[in-house]
A and B are shown apart, each in its own frame.
Chain A
């Protein structure tokens, strides 16, 4: 494509092409399960979904806390559970050698999960 399709741009081209290029790379690292990487492939899939649910639960919890409808004791219990959940996830991630970025699978129409 020899013609330039860029009509209007105020940012640095370097940053932008890096950013768009990054997305292409993120898309690559998906559900590709082979005998060699089966363990970490499955782990990635499972942990991504668990992480998604954890984040959604956390978000919902924060909305409740912000809404002011919870008692102090309920907030304490919520804090304890959420904190332990997050610590557990960190352990699992470490165990399978996965970073947050590894877990950010893009499912097409759903967009990035996180």
Chain B
């Protein structure tokens, strides 16, 4: 197995792990609040993956988590 295949398969494993730990599992809150300019505008009470959206965005920008 050359290095590229090993790296790639590690990449895939990592993506799979992140997809699970960020988007799945038991969630503490299922409410969605759509904000504009930090002002909460729309409240939607659904079992949504909001935390993963926030988490993913914050993951990209490296900011701190602020779970609701």
Contacts and interface: CB of A to CB of B under 8 A. Distances in A.
A24 B16 CA distance: 11
A10 interface: no
Contacts of A5: 13, 16-17
A17 interface: yes
B29 interface: no
B5 interface: yes
Interface of B: 4-5, 8-19, 23, 34-37, 46-49, 52-53, 56-57, 60
A21 B15 contact: yes
Contacts of B17: 1, 5
11 contacts: A4-B13, A5-B17, A13-B11, A13-B12, A28-B57, A30-B53, A30-B57, A33-B36, A108-B48, A108-B53, A109-B48
A31 B15 CA distance: 23
Q: Which 10 A-B pairs have the closest CB atoms?
A: A13-B8, A108-B49, A17-B11, A5-B13, A20-B15, A33-B36, A17-B12, A1-B17, A17-B8, A6-B9
